[in-house]
Homo-oligomer: A and B are copies of this chain.
Amino acid sequence: MSTSNSEGLIDRLTMQLAKIPGVGKKSASRMAYFFLEGDPAYCQSLAQNLNILHSTIKRCPECGAWTETATCPICSDDTRDRSLICVVERPQDVHIIEESREFRGLFHVLGGLIAPLDGIGPEKLSIGKLVMRLHKGAKEVIIALNPTIEGDTTALYLQKVLSEEPGLEGLTISRLASGLPVGGDLEYTDRLTLSRSFRGRVSF
């Protein structure tokens, strides 16, 4: 590709960076030169963090969130409300919800959404484990899946499974409200979101 050896490593680095979603060949090359021209210490500490990433961070055996400890700090935090379980799709969703400081219960990572076209059925999701955890005295399960076709399908499936599960009769099954985003504009809101925000309207 280049007549210059000096590009050997830069090219390898560029090709690796171009694998990052949303990063094209040009931006990857710009990144590579940014690392090369930048502070070596920064570059090495970034390398160090990338190097230990997979050995340091595992999935929590309880909820499935990312953790640096055996059980994740949320599952092992006694101050959290264990009767509340919030179901999310991906481990990073836990982080997103934690940052909102809105929820003080426990989490459960499904590990995906039902998507027949992609060959992802309920058996591929961590639903059995969820049911098992709910039997440990859960009062409410909050389904926090994206309001997409797959998210809605999965939410409906969970609702059906959990409502029919013997021993979970008292369990409240709720879902995050869907409607106009704060700061949103009626004019730029799609029909589906608008109709949802009507059906889900709340009285003052």
Contacts and interface: CB of A to CB of B under 8 A. Distances in A.
Interface of A: 1-10, 12-13, 16-17, 19-22, 27, 29-31, 33-36, 40, 42-54, 56-57, 60, 65-69, 72-74, 77, 92, 94-95, 98-99
Contacts of A95: 2, 4, 7, 10
Given A5-B68, A73-B4, A13 B43 contact: no
A65 B4 contact: yes
Contact of A6 (B33, B42, B66): B66
Contact of A43 (B53, B66, B72): B53
A183 to B, nearest CB: 17
Contacts of A66: 4, 6-7, 10, 36
B98 A16 contact: no
Given A5-B68, A5-B73, 7 more contacts: A4-B95, A5-B69, A5-B72, A6-B69, A9-B53, A33-B92, A43-B53
Contacts of A40: 53-54
Contact of A68 (B9, B27, B30, B44): B9
A31 B3 CA distance: 31
A50 B43 contact: yes
Contacts of A48: 47, 51
A40 to B, nearest CB: 4
A42 B68 contact: no
A30 to B, nearest CB: 7
B67 A5 contact: yes
A78 to B, nearest CB: 13
